[in-house]
Amino acid sequence: MQSYTIGQAARLLGVSPDTARRWADAGRVTTHRDDSGRRLIDGRDLAAFSVELAKAGSDGEEAPYTSARNAFPGIVTAIKLGDVAAQVEIQAGPHRLVSLLTREAVEELGLEVGMEATARVKSTNVHIDRT
């Protein structure tokens, strides 16, 4: 089974290594040490913890009504406006998402660099690569 260092786990969870370390210190996620003394998290434990975090993150928050299930809350990092089309970039944790939409939609939403926004992904095909 694959194991992850605290830094790798933090990157996958979209948090800082200090946050992941505090969670491990508090016993929220189980760790063990390898031969060189590094703290590792088993892949299955990390997967279960990430699901737990996602569920806890949605508690008490009022979710918008939408059929799109894959939401990536983040911050708008760039907007490129054309005459008709626009390109909007959102940084959501470790994920950079780029969306092409109409200029009119960007203006109606009042999107600006530095504001919070959620990218919602709805696709008929999802490809997964093993890393």
pLDDT (tens digit per residue) in 6-36: 999 988 888 889 999 999 999 999 999 999 9
Tokens at 42, concatenated: 């088993």
* pLDDT in the model for residue 92: 82
Tokens at 4, concatenated: 């992850």
Q: Who contacts 92 (Cβ-Cβ below 8 Å, separation ≥6)? A: 14, 72, 73, 74, 118, 119
* pLDDT in the model for residue 79: 94
pLDDT (tens digit per residue) in 32-59: 999 999 999 999 898 888 888 877 765 5
Taking Cα atoms as reference points, which of 68, 106, 64, 71 lies closest to residue 85?
106
* pLDDT in the model for residue 38: 93
